[in-house]
Structures are given as structure tokens and as C-alpha cells.
Amino acid sequence: MARTGVFVTLEGIDGCGKSTQASLLVDALRAAGHEVVALREPGGTPISEKIRALLLDPANAEMAPECELLLYEASRAQLVRQVIQPALERGAVVVCDRFFDSTYGYQYGGRGLSEQLVKTCNELGSCGVVPARTIVFDLAPECALQRATKGGADRIEAEGLAFQQRIREAYLRLAAQEPQRVHLVDAVGTPEEVFARLADALRDLFGTLEGGEA
């Protein structure tokens, strides 16, 4: 019988704490004995990293929303085929900092592209691979932007609060649409407090996970 791993994705607006929690989660899963493949989107393969550089370059401010959508999907498809599917087939846990729900949040919620169009493109870009669990770290945009801009803003973070608020609302809509897969985690508090909530939201998949230092 083919072994199948567990695919977990972390979502939320810029600065909500995804990367911080991804690092804590990866450490905790490894400490529990799992083989873990840690990824972040866009990126994770040589081709996907080149696409990432195009997407995040502040010089590309003229990029059309449709171009942006397709670049994200192109980057994702390469990551799924080259890394995520093989890892899941050998039984690894894959933790991805952003996946197709970011495209739902940003390209549908943020940019205003059609919801159905974005979902259809997500099916193609993900090559039909759906996370077992998706955690949305929920935080007010004011608080998240304050966290995110401490280190300087990139092109996407520079869009401002109204944009982030629309993205947050799209994530909330998604959690209501797919409550089995998409779990909301309150991102207020210290990294350790947020991690305890994250571990709770994954307990049915991994049992008890012990958090370390952020």
C-alpha cells in the first residue's frame, strides 16, 4: 500500500505570524519524530524561486492582476510536481507557508478577480493536491501591518490596510465554506500563545506537540 504523508498549510495576511509559527511547527514535528519538508510559497524549486523574484520585485508595480494570478499558479504547479507530491508519496509531513488559499485571499479578496475563476486556476496550479489541514492565523490588519513593516515593506505589503482587510475577509469566508479543512487560529498574543492554539488545531492529525522558543 502506498504511504501517504500529511500536507499542512499556513495562511493569513502579511505579518500575522505565519513564518514564525511555521518554524515552531517544523521544530515540534521533527522533535516528535516526523520527516518534515518545510516550504514557503511562492518558491521552493529553482523555477518557482525565479517566479517569486518576479512577483515580489517592487519594480514590477505595473503587473496586471491576471498576470500575477498565473505566475502564482505556475510557481505552485512546479512546487507540487517537483517537491510536494514526491514528499507526500514517501510519507513525509509537508508544511507550506502559504498555498492556494493565499491566491484566494489575495487575487479574489484583494484584487477582486472572480471567485470562481480563482478557484478554477487554483485547481490547475495545485495539480489537484489539497491540504489535509489549513490554518488561517487571524489578526487585525493594523496589528499585522505593524509587525510586518518593522523590517521594511515589499511591494505586496505596501498595498495598505484596506487591501489587507479584504484579504482577511476572504480567509474568513473560506473558513466558513470549508470548516473541516480550514481552521481559524487567533494570532493575538505571544508566539508561544499562538503556537499552543496551533497545536490544538492540529491535535487530531499529530497528537500533542510541544512548542519550543520562538
Ligand X SMILES: Nc1ncnc2c1ncn2[C@@H]1O[C@H](COP(=O)(O)OP(=O)(O)O)[C@@H](O)[C@H]1O
- Residues at the interface with ligand X (CB under 6 A): 12, 14-20, 147-148, 150, 189-191, 194
Binding partner selected for residue 20 from Mg ion, ligand X, none, CB under the kind-specific 5 to 8 Å limit: ligand X
CA nearest to 201, candidates 209, 189, 190: 209
| Cβ proximity to ligand X, 58 vs 189, nearer residue | 189
SS3 70: helix
| Cβ proximity to ligand X, 20 vs 134, nearer residue | 20
CB of 5 to ligand X, least distance (A): 23
CB of 189 to ligand X, least distance (A): 6
> Exposed, middle or buried by CB within 10 Å (0-12, 13-18, 19+), for 61?
exposed
The amino acid at residue 125 is G
Binding partner selected for residue 147 from ligand X, Mg ion, none, CB under the kind-specific 5 to 8 Å limit: ligand X
* HSE, side-chain direction, 13 A CA sphere, residue 137: 31
List residues binding Mg ion (CB under 5 A): 18-19
Binding partner selected for residue 27 from ligand X, Mg ion, none, CB under the kind-specific 5 to 8 Å limit: none
Instruction: For 190-211, give one letter per residue: b (16+ CB within 10 A) or e.
Output: ebeebbebbbebbeeebeebeb
CB of 34 to ligand X, least distance (A): 21
CB atoms within 10 A of CB 187: 27
| Cβ proximity to Mg ion, 115 vs 153, nearer residue | 153
Binding partner selected for residue 194 from ligand X, Mg ion, none, CB under the kind-specific 5 to 8 Å limit: ligand X
Asked if 142 and 14 touch (Cβ cutoff 8 Å), the reply is no
Binding partner selected for residue 3 from Mg ion, ligand X, none, CB under the kind-specific 5 to 8 Å limit: none
CB of 41 to ligand X, least distance (A): 11
CB of 19 to ligand X, least distance (A): 3
CA nearest to 12, candidates 153, 121, 192, 134: 134
Please tell me the distance from the alpha carbon of residue 162 to that of residue 185, in angstroms, as a whole number.
21
| Cβ proximity to ligand X, 88 vs 137, nearer residue | 137
Distance of CA 160 to the CA centre of its chain: 19
CB of 122 to ligand X, least distance (A): 20
| Cβ proximity to ligand X, 15 vs 125, nearer residue | 15
Binding partner selected for residue 16 from ligand X, Mg ion, none, CB under the kind-specific 5 to 8 Å limit: ligand X
